[in-house]
A and B are shown apart, each in its own frame.
Chain A
Amino acid sequence: MKVNGITKKLEKEQSLYDFLVTEQYDLNRIAVERNGEIVPKAAYKTVLLQDEDKLEIVQFVGGG
């Protein structure tokens, strides 16, 4: 799987939610695109990641 352009090995089948939590992303501060489509937050737990997936994860920091 590719995450922000970097290859990541998927050790076991897991949901997008489990992946994000394991990687310590703050779910309230991100947006995730999977294979060119934005993933609604409500679908994080039902999306199962595949080896050929391409994820783009944007993390926002504060300030404006």
Chain B
Amino acid sequence: MELTVNGKKRRLECRTAFQVREKLGSPEDIVILNGFQIDEDCELSNGDTLTLIQKGVMPDAEELESMMMARHSPNVHNKIKKGKVAIAGLGGLGSNIAVMLARIGVGQLLLVDFDVVEPSNLNRQCYYVRHLGMAKTDALKEQIKEINPFIKVQTKTVKITEDNVKELFECYDIVCEAFDKPDQKSMLVNTALNELPDCKIVAASGMAGYESSNLIKTTKPMNRLYVCGDLKNGAKVGNGLMAPRVQICAGHQANMILRLLLGIEDC
């Protein structure tokens, strides 16, 4: 039977997943069959994808990629790998979204922010003490390399204005608006919708404080615009930004981006 085992096509005379493990691996190996980790033996069909992972061992690069992607259904993975997503702003939303998109294997990411990591970022943004003073673009690129070295990450350490939106983002399918200031959000959404006729925008509005998680939603108010958040709770004196709701909102944005990459347009 034709199987893909750890990224390589093989012809094997095995009927079940555990027979393959017996032949090629050891009894403690984790077995992932078509994206799902199995604990009980399963019959195999022609064309199945099987991944055997030896715990505690560093695999070589080629094998590592197939092991990392083993958790994605094969067709889903191929679509995501072709995805090109730009993230505008690398604060609480953008840094967490970038890491999620890297984990699912989005093929090309553009990370844009002009700022450096400072202590007040650590309450919600995906950086460490060792990154203080570093450009957010560089700090995030460094982390992504350690999470998924198999995707292309480009960075631009510039301030985004009306004048450079088109130039920065015209090669990307999806622009993720992850700014902090409402006038900046409005500037990016307006400019991108006007100047980039094919691109979809996934923006955020309203995630401050610690009101109910369930108020945060994904909406599609316009043709090519998605907005995630509770649409109400802005950051202000007495209502700061905190990791949980910011990350819930980042999760909404990342999932909407994933859906768009898979061709699903409703939220």
Contact = CB atoms under 8 A, between A and B. Distances in A.
A binds B: yes
Interface of A: 4, 26, 28-31, 33, 36, 38, 40-41, 56, 58-64
A64 B227 contact: no
Given A31-B225, A58-B222, A64 B186 contact: no
Contact of B222 (A29, A31, A40, A41): A31
20 contacts: A28-B183, A28-B186, A29-B186, A33-B221, A38-B193, A38-B194, A38-B222, A40-B190, A40-B194, A58-B225, A58-B227, A60-B182, A60-B189, A61-B182, A61-B231, A62-B181, A63-B207, A63-B241, A64-B185, A64-B246
Interface residues of B, number: 37
A63 B181 CA distance: 6
Interface string B224-240: 01010101111110000
B190 A63 contact: no
Contacts of B89: 64
Given A29-B182, A29-B183, A38-B190, A64 B221 contact: no
A62 B222 contact: no
B203 to A, nearest CB: 8
Contacts, number: 87
The 8 tightest CB contacts between A and B, nearest first, are A61-B234, A63-B235, A38-B193, A60-B182, A60-B185, A64-B180, A29-B182, A28-B183
Contacts of B183: 28-29
Chain B contact surface mostly: mixed
Interface stretch (B90-98, B126-134, B135-143): B90-98
Nearest to B89: A64
Given A38-B223, A61-B235, 12 more contacts: A28-B183, A31-B193, A38-B190, A40-B194, A58-B225, A60-B182, A60-B205, A62-B181, A63-B204, A63-B246, A64-B92, A64-B207
Contacts of B257: none
Contacts of B179: 64
A17 to B, nearest CB: 14
Contacts of A4: 221
